[in-house]
A and B are shown apart, each in its own frame.
Chain A
Amino acid sequence: MKEVTLHILSQTRLTRDVYRMVLGGDTTAITAPGQFINIRLDGLYLRRPISVCDWEPEEATILYKVVGRGTTQMSRLPVGTALSVLTGLGNGYDVNKSGERPLLLGGGVGVPPLYLLARQLVAEGKDVTAVLGFNTADEVFYEDEFRALGVRTIVTTADGSRGVRGFVTDALPDEYSYVYTCGPEPMLKAVYHVTKTSGQYSFEERMGCGFGACMGCTCKTKYGAKRICTDGPVLEKEEIIW
């Protein structure tokens, strides 16, 4: 982990309430897809943890959904704003376990961390399929970006207004070597029960610090108590108690 000052390079509205923010500065502490950063905002006591969607030297991209005070404030920050950010938090996904045909399952704002993962898996020559789940057509984002990576990309919407009607679990391919997933807990649970292979599941929890000090985000696993912020957010399927 590093505490750094990052500057907002761009802000783009992707859907009604999902934004993309590109941050510039020292991003060397970010070492794996699925990690997150923790952003300090004026007037708010706790930092805001947001997963990393994409990474370049001196650059990190985040996608966030405006749901409360913190994300509302973020969406109004102008380009050039300097932010105090804790970078390189969490364990992230392990790309080495993917096998040849990894399957990526993302739901809503669980989609962003899968983008950097997909990019890395493609770079390693893997045959990647991504199923991206949303509620409705208006909320779909990053479908084209996943496709542009060369990923076989399937979109599902709960109301059927775009792609396959239903949830990500309604659009699973017949064959895949490993599962990487991130999304709301009911989706993760469905994925856990429906998919046949091993996999890595990224969880969300309210956090105090984001770096393992406060024990605010602890969950029970088969191998004991784990802090979502430092021992996670990615857990192996085998250790999840469901």
Chain B
Amino acid sequence: MVNTAVSLCGVPLDNPVIPASGTFGFGAEFAALYDINCLGTFSFKGTTRQPRFGNPTPRIAECEAGMLNAVGLQNPGVEAVLSQILPQMRTYFKKPVMANVSGFSVGEYAETCAMLDEAEQVGWLEVNISCPNVHGGGMSFGTDPAMAAEVTKAVRAATKKPVIVKLSPNVTDIAEMARACEAAGADGVSLINTLQGMRIDLRKQQPVLANTFGGLSGPAVFPVALRMVYQVYKAVRIPIVGMGGVSSAEDVLEMMLAGATAVQIGAVNLVNPFAGRDIVRALPAAMEKYGIQNLSDIIGGAHHGA
């Protein structure tokens, strides 16, 4: 019997498979299809202090081996998450959930995190400083190390829960961003958010997305994500949640060998709603195939002897 358990910032996970924020809603659509308690956990839809409608449509464009999205952080706001969504989630998800938080000012990030700190169900706060699809916030915190540190510090002071800062790949040096977050008190980092891209509709000769630009995800970004996880592992000592195009148990193993303690799966949930369950089920056989007994033993394994 192989052992898939890992520990993320001191919180145990049965396995490292975590559906990524923005691809899993608050879990209800998937809980109607399978028992989502088989997952390590999931990161819920990016939540802000106030409700947000998000961007106009079209918000989605297809790409070779992936997709662009420019949803723009549509969410019901933290108050509705606390009063309505979390109590309902209790009926279908019994494990600690990862709360994904976004904001438009340092104070707003801290306030939203402080409110979620009260929720017993929340196991980790994943602080998104890297949304490419909202103007005047989001990614601007994720591209400047000083700003990233400031947000991290404020959030760290606002909660007792582990703080995982979600990093943008749209930077020159992602390792520098990770170091800034670690120095400011982050308990972990997650990466990568989507890569900024665009498509043009040839019939209209105009951008497909109403927002012009969107975030690229799916298998197309996997090698880039893997490289960045590898680089960040060399730069920091805090745990890394790796993501970006992960679509199979084998991809999970690659991410962990690059340095990820846990692995998020994103776009694949949208094309195969059972992807989370399927990857969890496929993990033991993939581990056996490659002679892996304890999954936690391989974290950063690709660095040894390199």
* Interface-facing stretch out of B3-11, B59-67, B151-159: B59-67
Q: Is the CB of A45 within 8 A of B63?
A: yes
Distance, CA A44 to CA B64, complexed state (A): 7
Tell me whether A208 and B29 are in contact (CB under 8 A): no
Q: B58 and A45: CB pair below 8 A?
A: no
Q: Which residue of A lies closest to B218 (CB)?
A: A45
| Complex Cα spacing A151 to B269, Å | 42
**Chain A hits for B270, CB < 8 A:** 46, 208-209, 213-214
Complex Cα spacing A230 to B30, Å: 13
| Whole-angstrom CA separation of A225 from B25 in the bound complex | 14
CB distance from A160 to the nearest CB of B (A): 26
- Tell me whether A206 and B71 are in contact (CB under 8 A): no
Whether the pair A3, B273 counts as a contact (CB closer than 8 A) is: yes
Instruction: From the candidates B22, B24, B60, B67, name the one contacting A217 in the complex (CB within 8 A).
Output: B60
Residues of A within 8 A of B54 (CB): 215, 218, 225
Beta-carbon contacts of B7-51 to A below 8 Å, as 1s and 0s?
Answer: 000000000000000111100011011000000000001000000
Set of chain A residues within 8 Å of B62, measured between Cβ atoms: 44-46
**A40-B271, A215-B74 known; A208-B24 Cβ under 8 A:** no
Q: Does A105 contact B (CB under 8 A)?
A: no
With A209-B270, A209-B273, A213-B25 as known contacts, state yes or no: A45 contacts B60, CB within 8 Å.
no
Complex interface residues of chain A between 213 and 242 (CB less than 8 A to chain B): 213-220, 225, 230
| Residue B194, interface by CB 8 Å | no
Residue pair A206, B30 in contact (C-beta under 8 Å): no
Contact A213 B273 (CB under 8 A): yes
Determine whether the beta carbon of A216 is less than 8 Å from that of B269. Answer: no
Interface residue count for B (Cβ, 8 Å)? Answer: 35
Q: Which residue of B lies closest to A67 (CB)?
A: B203
Residue of B29, B32, B54 contacting most chain A CB atoms (<10 Å) = B29
CB-defined contacts of A211 to chain B, threshold 8 Å: 29, 273
* Count of A-B contacts judged by CB separation below 8 Å: 89
By secondary structure, the A interface counts as loop
Q: Map CB proximity to B onto A39-55 as digits: 1 under 8 Å, 0 otherwise.
A: 01000111100000000
| Complex alpha-carbon distance, A213 and B271, angstroms | 11
B29→A47 contact, CB < 8 A: no
Name A44's closest neighbour in chain B (CB-CB).
B62
* Docked complex Cα distance between A208 and B69 (Å): 8
Q: Once bound together, how far apart are the Cα atoms of A81 and B70, in whole Å?
A: 34
Report chain B residues within 8 Å CB of A214. 22-23, 60, 69, 71, 270
Q: Annotate A14-48 by CB proximity to B: 1 below 8 A, 0 otherwise.
A: 00000000000000000000000000100011110
Most chain A CB within a 10 A radius of its CB, from B24, B60, B64, B219: B60
Cβ contact within 8 Å between A220 and B63: no
Q: Does A212 sit at the interface, judged by CB under 8 A?
A: yes
- B84 within 8 A of partner (CB): no
Q: Which residues of B contact A208 (CB under 8 A)?
A: 59-60, 67, 69, 270
Which of B214-273 touch A at CB < 8 Å? 218-219, 267, 269-273
Complex Cα–Cα for A5 and B82 (A): 39
* A205 contacts B58, C-beta separation under 8 Å: yes
Given the known A-B contacts A213-B24, A213-B30, A214-B23, are A206 and B271 also in contact in the complex, defined by CB atoms under 8 Å? no
- Decide yes or no whether A207 CB sits under 8 A from chain B: yes
For A44, list chain B residues within 8 Å (CB): 62
Contact, CB under 8 Å: B274 / A213: no
Given contacts A45-B218, A214-B71, A218-B53, contact A86 B273 (CB under 8 A): yes
Q: A206 near B60 (CB under 8 angstroms)?
A: yes
Interface centre among A44, A207, A209 (most CB of B within 10 A): A209
- The answer for the CA separation of A235 and B272 in the assembled complex, in Å, is 27
Chain B CB within 10 A, most for which of A47, A207, A218: A218
Give the chain B neighbours of A225 by CB distance below 8 A.
53-54, 74
Bound CA–CA A211/B274 (angstroms): 12
Q: A213-B24, A214-B69, A214-B71 are in contact. Are A206 and B58 (CB under 8 A)?
A: yes
Q: Is the CB of B58 within 8 A of A215?
A: no
What sequence of 0s and 1s flags, for each residue 47-91 of chain A, a beta carbon within 8 Å of any chain B beta carbon?
A: 100000000000000000000000000000000000000100000
Excluding A45-B271, A209-B269, A218-B59, 11 further A-B contacts by CB distance (< 8 Å) are A45-B218, A46-B62, A207-B60, A208-B59, A213-B269, A215-B54, A216-B60, A218-B57, A218-B71, A218-B74, A225-B53
Rank and list the top 10 A-B pairs by shortest CB-CB distance, nearest first.
A209-B270, A216-B60, A206-B58, A208-B60, A212-B29, A215-B74, A216-B59, A46-B62, A206-B60, A215-B71
A residues neighboring B (CB under 8 Å): 1, 3, 40, 44-47, 86, 205-209, 211-220, 225, 230
List 16 A-B pairs, Cβ < 8 Å: A1-B32, A3-B33, A3-B273, A45-B67, A46-B67, A206-B58, A206-B59, A207-B60, A211-B273, A214-B22, A214-B69, A215-B25, A215-B71, A216-B71, A218-B59, A218-B74
